[in-house]
Amino acid sequence: YYGEWLDKIWFYNNASFHTKDTITCITVDKSKIMWLGTFGDGIFKRTLNSAQNFLTFHYNYYWKDGFPLVCYSMAFDSENNPWAAGFYFYMDCNRETAFTVASDWNCSAHAGGIKIMDMVFDSKDNLWMAVDHVEHTYLACHEKEATASTAVLEGTAATSLAVDSKDNIWLTCTDGIHYYEPGTKKNTLYTHENHPEIPQALYTACDIDQDGNVWFITSNLLLKYDGKNFTQYTCEEFNEARSVLCGRGNVWVYTKNNILLRFKNNVFTSIDLDSQQTGFMKEKRENSLFSATYNADGTITVAGDIAIKEVNIYDVSGMLVSTIAGEGKNKVEIKETGMPGKELH
C-alpha cells in the first residue's frame, strides 16, 4: 500500500491488515489518518500510535436496506466527519445515516448501474457527488443539514470531480470536461471540438493543486489548466492511468501497470511498485538517470549513470536522518534505513 503523507511516499507491509475484498478507494482525512474503502467489506481506518506502528480499525457499515457498503469514494466535512459513497447510496458514517442520490429514483431498478464515483465538500459544507449513470444525474449535491440530495446536472456519466477556491465544480465525464458554477448555475463543456488545444480523449480523473491549477488525466497523458491555457504532459511510463492526486507541489499519477508517477517542476519521476521490492524510483536529472530501489528488508539501493556524490535520507517529518557518501561510485547500498517512513533525495 502507498499514500501521500507530508509530501513523502510510504512503502510498507503489514501482515495484520486483511480484507477479503478489493480496496476501491484510499484517502487521508484532515488529521492525516488514512482510510481505505472496500468492495463490500466496509471501511478500514489506519492510524499511527506513539511507537509509530500502524493500528487498524474496521467499520463494517451497511446501508438502510441491509446491503453491505461498497465504498467507491470518501470525503470529510469541516469537522472531519467521514462520509462514504458507493452504489446508489451515500452515508454519514458517524451518524450511520444513509441517503440515496437523487432520491426519486427507483432503487431496485437502477441501483446496480448507479455508482457515486467521487465526492467532495465545498467551503460551505455542501457535499458534491460525481455519478456514473448516463440516463440520470451526473452531478448531485447534498446541501448542509439537508435530508436528501438534489440532481444538479443530468445526461452523461461522471467519474471524478474537484472543487476550486470559489466553490465552482470541475468534472471529468464521458463527453468531456465540465465546469459548473453553482452561483449562476452555468455549465461549460470543454472538448477538443470547442478547444482544439485539448487532446481528443476520455478524461477520467481530476484534482486541483495549491496554486489553483486543475489537473486531468487520460489513459496516456496529464493535462493542466492554469485558468487560461491547457498544457499536456506525458512520459514513457504514462500508460493506462487510473488516478491523479495533487499535494505540496507534486502531481501524483497511478497507472494500471503498478507504476506511480510524480510530476514536479515539469519532470516525471516513475516509481515501480514491484511485488518483489517495496518500491523502485526512477528520475532523470540534467540528462542523467538515477534510480532508487526500496527493498523489502529496509535497505535502499541507489544507482546512476554518473558518479553519486552523496545520498540524503529524511524521515516523514522532513528531518534529515543521515547523509551517506557516494564515494564517486555509480551504485550505493544503504543499510539500516529504518523503513518505512524514509524518503530518498
Residues 6+ apart with CB under 8 A from 166: none
| Section 251-259 average pLDDT | 90
What pairs with residue 46 in β-bridges? 34, 56
The reported pTM is 0.75
CA dist 341 and 52 (Å) reads 9
Q: Which three cell numbers mark 41? A: 467489506
CA dist 237 and 62 (Å) reads 39
Banded model confidence at residue 269, pLDDT cuts 50, 70, 90: confident
Query: 180, 187 in Cβ contact below 8 A?
Result: yes
Q: What amino acid occupies position 37?
A: G
If one compares 149 and 137, the residue with the highest pLDDT of the two is 149
Q: Report pLDDT digits (tens) over 38-92.
A: 887 778 887 765 555 556 677 776 655 556 668 889 999 999 999 998 887 888 8
User: Do you know the residue count of the chain?
Assistant: 345
pLDDT at residue 106 is higher than 50: no
Query: 332, 323 in Cβ contact below 8 A?
Result: no
User: What whole-number percentage of the chain has pLDDT above 90?
Assistant: 39
Banded model confidence at residue 316, pLDDT cuts 50, 70, 90: very low
Backbone φ/ψ region at 166: left (φ over 0), alpha (ψ -120 to 50), beta: alpha
Question: Within a 10 A sphere around the Cβ of 171, how many other Cβ atoms?
Answer: 26
Beta strands in 191-256 (DSSP E): 205-208, 214-217, 222-225, 230-233, 241-247, 250-255
Whole-Å CA distances, 119 to 46, 101, 159, 302: 21, 12, 10, 39
pLDDT at residue 193 is higher than 90: yes
| Section 277-286 average pLDDT | 59
pLDDT score for 125: 97
